[in-house]
Amino acid sequence: MKILFVSSEGLPFSKTGGLADVAEALPKALVQAGHDVGVVLPHYRGTKPSSIVISSLTVPMGAALRFPAVRIAEGADLHGVRYYFVDDPAYFDREKLYGDSNGDYADNGERFALFSRAAIEIAKNVFGAEVLHCHDWQSGLVPALLRSAYADDPALRSVPVIFTVHNLGYHGLFGRDILGRIGLPDELFSMDGVEFYGNVNYLKAGLIFSDYLTTVSRKYAQEIQTPEYGHGLEGVIRARADHLVGILNGVDYAAWSPEADKFIAAKYSATEMTGKQACKKDLLEQFKLPGDNLQRPIIGIVSRFADQKGFDLIAHIAVELLKEDVSIVALGTGDAKYENLFRELAAKLPGKVGVRVGFDNALAHKIEAGSDMFLMPSRYEPCGLNQIYSLKYATIPVVRATGGLDDTIEPFDAATGRGTGFKFSAYDGRALLGCIREALKVYNDSKSWRRLQANAMAKDYSWKASAGEYAKLYELARKSRITRAAGASN
């Protein structure tokens, strides 16, 4: 099949979160399975495409045409995947992807409406897509436009859209007046369309108009149908439950494995673990923590510093946790109150706490390899990748039982020797602290800990199985759309 991904970010070109990892790894896995795959991305600052495939693409934006005209650039094939870039400097040549220190960019509605229209033109005139796979609100207008403005186009009538929700908490909400500016028909502004409490909701557009919906774990597919996790869209999702599938994200072990990792101090494997101690020593040096006690467990954190990631729980228990014989290293950026919390802890306890505010890919790998435990107490977590990386690095996850964290981590039972980590259910600081203490107890039993590490490293969450599930869904959607298109033309 010819499958075209539409994503607002994707490695190795752009990244703010896990979507970028998926937009790189899943297409690569599909190519390895024999499919023809392309990826459409915005041409952000710093991206260097190799050639221009459309020098002047006229894109309607409301009653006017976008001027100057948009260009479509093509990048070099990577792992057999073709990359296309929507080149509009006024919209995409900016320091950040979605916003700056003042908040989201005010013209995000227009930016990603143009991106969606350009992606459809690439699908039709450049790539010849048989399936479109769209991701999150930034591409939510693609299916809405296909079934409205492009509904009578014979080249696109039988092309299905798979829409993946990576995080339902981000909607893409804009005032009703955006409709006129982007050329979306007024009749779509209804409860059965893109209307959401008086605003236009790009995520809802994707949920309503796509052929099939997916999200990034089985548990999250269940959770988003409830008020607690549905962010006001649970009714929409329940109405489409028969076309909703939870497919767990995979990971790219070529990049995330201690046997091949180019960023870590020493390589190691399940049969030869000595390198992990060297990685632990290196990690302590990176954070300028004392290396005289390599037996003291290190708890690693690589995360966006936000309530969603459970940092309110961490803040609640931090002082009491640090009375234990542990060290904490944290890498990330986010809410100022949590950045400041870790800076203050590091200043008060310079021998036990290290923090680096920002994003550093190499350091993220070092934390995975050098830590003993990895902390992810998320309020909700659609899939999560770091807990899966941690398994391969024998860095035992301590997680809350939600979304993909619940799907991927099995509680360790010392009596049977089964399990891969530790998890708690109640969103409560005491429950988190109790879970960490349980992990510390097992850590102090070297035989049980080695068994637990072996269990973790044996898990295989590569993309091969997940890519196979997506391929089956693409074929199902394609057959269904062809049948519907044929019926409409009769």
Output the six-digit token pair for 415.
């009596």
Classify residue 84 by its DSSP letter. E
Phi, psi angles (nearest 5°) of residue 213: -110, 140
SS3 per residue for 281-303? HHHHHHCCCCCCCCCCCEEEEEE
- Residue 173 has, within 13 A of its CA and on its CB side, a CA count of 12
- Confirm whether 268 is domain-assigned: no
Confidence at 489, pLDDT banded by 50, 70, 90 = low
- Confirm whether 191 is domain-assigned: yes
C-alpha to C-alpha distance for 183 and 66, rounded to whole angstroms: 11
Task: Spell out the residues 6+ positions from residue 189 whose beta carbon is closer than 8 angstroms to its own.
Answer: 176, 179, 195, 200
Q: Are residues 161 and 289 in the same domain?
A: no
Q: Are residues 7 and 44 in the same domain?
A: yes
253 SS3 class: coil
Phi, psi angles (nearest 5°) of residue 163: -120, 120
pLDDT digits (tens, 9 = 90+) for 128-183: 999 999 999 999 999 999 999 999 999 999 999 999 999 999 999 999 999 999 98
Q: What is the pLDDT of residue 375?
A: 98
- Confirm whether 262 is domain-assigned: no
C-alpha to C-alpha distance for 9 and 7, rounded to whole angstroms: 5
DSSP H or E stretch at residue 212: strand 212-215
Q: Are residues 451 and 346 in the same domain?
A: yes
Q: Are residues 429 and 469 in the same domain?
A: no
- Confirm whether 263 is domain-assigned: no
- Confirm whether 8 is domain-assigned: yes
More confident site: 59 or 165: 165
Q: Are residues 420 and 472 in the same domain?
A: no
Q: Are residues 158 and 246 in the same domain?
A: yes
pLDDT > 60? residue 347: yes
- Confirm whether 390 is domain-assigned: yes
pLDDT > 60? residue 430: yes
pLDDT digits (tens, 9 = 90+) for 64-112: 888 788 999 999 899 999 999 999 999 999 989 999 888 899 999 999 9
pLDDT > 90? residue 47: no
C-alpha to C-alpha distance for 173 and 159, rounded to whole angstroms: 27
On whether the CB atoms of residues 422 and 396 are closer than 8 A, the answer is: yes
Average of per-residue pLDDT across 371-398: 97
Q: What is the pLDDT of residue 397?
A: 98
- Confirm whether 225 is domain-assigned: yes
Strand locations in 101-251 (E) = 103-104, 131-135, 161-165, 173-175, 195-196, 199-201, 212-215, 244-246
Task: Spell out the residues 6+ positions from residue 261 whose beta carbon is closer than 8 angstroms to its own.
Answer: 255, 267, 365, 369
pLDDT digits (tens, 9 = 90+) for 312-346: 999 999 999 999 999 999 999 989 999 999 999 99
On whether the CB atoms of residues 467 and 250 are closer than 8 A, the answer is: yes
In which domain, by residue range, is 221 found?
A: 2-250+464-489
State percent of the chain over pLDDT 90: 87
Average of per-residue pLDDT across 472-480: 96
Phi, psi angles (nearest 5°) of residue 468: -65, -40
Output the six-digit token pair for 191.
């409860």
Q: Are residues 45 and 161 in the same domain?
A: yes
User: Which of 93-127 are b and which e, b meaning 16 or more Cβ less than 10 Å from the residue's Cβ?
Assistant: ebeebbeeeeeebeebbbbbbbbbbbbbbbbeebb
Q: Are residues 342 and 237 in the same domain?
A: no
Tell me which residue of 370, 373, 339 sits closest to 356, measured CA to CA.
Answer: 339
239 SS3 class: helix
pLDDT > 70? residue 385: yes
pLDDT digits (tens, 9 = 90+) for 204-262: 999 999 999 999 999 999 999 999 999 999 999 999 999 999 999 998 898 899 999 99
The pLDDT mean for the chain works out to 95
Sign, Cα dihedral of 443, 447, 453, 455: negative
pLDDT > 90? residue 121: yes
CATH of residue 478's domain is: 3.40.50.2000
pLDDT > 70? residue 490: no
Task: Spell out the residues 6+ positions from residue 274 whose beta carbon is closer than 8 angstroms to its own.
Answer: 266, 268
C-alpha to C-alpha distance for 261 and 389, rounded to whole angstroms: 12
pLDDT > 70? residue 388: yes
CA distances in angstroms from 58 to 65, 91, 110, listed in the order given: 7, 15, 15
Q: What is the pLDDT of residue 172?
A: 96
C-alpha to C-alpha distance for 489 and 180, rounded to whole angstroms: 30
pLDDT > 80? residue 287: yes
- Confirm whether 309 is domain-assigned: yes
Q: Are residues 385 and 431 in the same domain?
A: yes
Q: Are residues 322 and 471 in the same domain?
A: no
Output the six-digit token pair for 410.
């099995």
Torsion-angle region of 121 (φ positive above 0: left; ψ -120 to 50: alpha; else: beta)? alpha
The domain tally of the chain equals 2
More confident site: 61 or 376: 376
* Burial status of residue 281 (CB atoms within 10 A of its CB: 0-12, 13-18, 19 or more): middle
The residue assigned the tokens 């767990």 is 248
Q: Are residues 149 and 163 in the same domain?
A: yes
Average of per-residue pLDDT across 52-62: 87
Q: What is the pLDDT of residue 73?
A: 94
Task: Write down how long the chain is.
Answer: 490
Q: Are residues 370 and 430 in the same domain?
A: yes
pLDDT digits (tens, 9 = 90+) for 435-463: 999 999 999 999 999 999 999 999 999 99
State percent of the chain over pLDDT 70: 99
Determine the Cα angle at 393 with ends 389 and 399, to 5°. 55
